[in-house]
Amino acid sequence: MDNHLYNLFSQIVQNRRSIYRIRKFYLKDATRCQRCKDLWQKILKNKEEETKLLIEVLKAHKF
């Protein structure tokens, strides 16, 4: 596998781990602070969009 494809795949894994932690822990921990909860929701949305884009690029490489 080419290194740049490995990097894309590795970033997808990292993002998915972050998405899991945000959903499972960070949002629940921020229930008392709306500002923090809003921040985590925004980060979650960005991570999901970034992951979708990374997957599209990998598919374009027929990976």
Instruction: Indicate if the pLDDT at residue 38 is higher than 80.
Output: yes
Average pLDDT (15-33) is: 97
Mean pLDDT for the stretch of residues 38-61 = 97
Q: What is the pTM of this model?
A: 0.90
For 45, the token pair is 């949305």
Sequence ranges of the domains in the chain: 3-58
| pLDDT (average), residues 13-34 | 98
pLDDT for 62 beyond 90 = no
Average pLDDT (15-28) is 98
pLDDT of 63 > 90? The answer is: no
Q: 41-58 burial, b for 16+ CB within 10 Å, e for fewer?
A: eeebeebeeebeebeeee
Distance of CA 34 to the CA centre of its chain: 21
